[in-house]
Amino acid sequence: MSFGITKKVERIVEMTLEGTDAKVIVDGRISTPFSIIIGVRKGNGLSATLFNLVLHKALKTLEQSNTILNRLT
């Protein structure tokens, strides 16, 4: 899926997501670290940007396919 971003920006995004570990608190105890292999961490500033990019692409695709979104106007 193409979003019109450069390979450099794409690589920077990949680098910020690679090797991400997290811990959670359960019953007042901190877990051992585990790897995050899908998605972004909650509160990560990048998550809103990535969501907006994908939503924009999805809406453009729907608009071009002349779906119900286009018929409401």
Residue 51 token pair: 């969501």
pLDDT at 68: 59
Domain assignment of residue 44, given as a range = 7-71
Residue 35 lies in a domain: yes
Who has greater pLDDT, 16 or 41?
A: 16
Asked whether 34 and 40 are in contact (CB, 8 A), the reply is no
pLDDT at 72: 54
* Dist. CA 41–CA 9, nearest whole Å: 19
pLDDT at 30: 96
Domains: count for the chain: 1
Handedness of CA 70, 60, 16, 31 (dihedral sign): positive
Residue 27 lies in a domain: yes
Residue 2 lies in a domain: no
* Dist. CA 49–CA 55, nearest whole Å: 10
Angle between the N-to-C axes of helices 7-17 and 45-64, in degrees from 0 to 180, rounded to the nearest 10: 130
pLDDT 10s digits, 19-70: 888 899 999 999 999 988 887 767 777 888 888 888 888 888 877 777 655 5
Who has greater pLDDT, 2 or 13?
A: 13
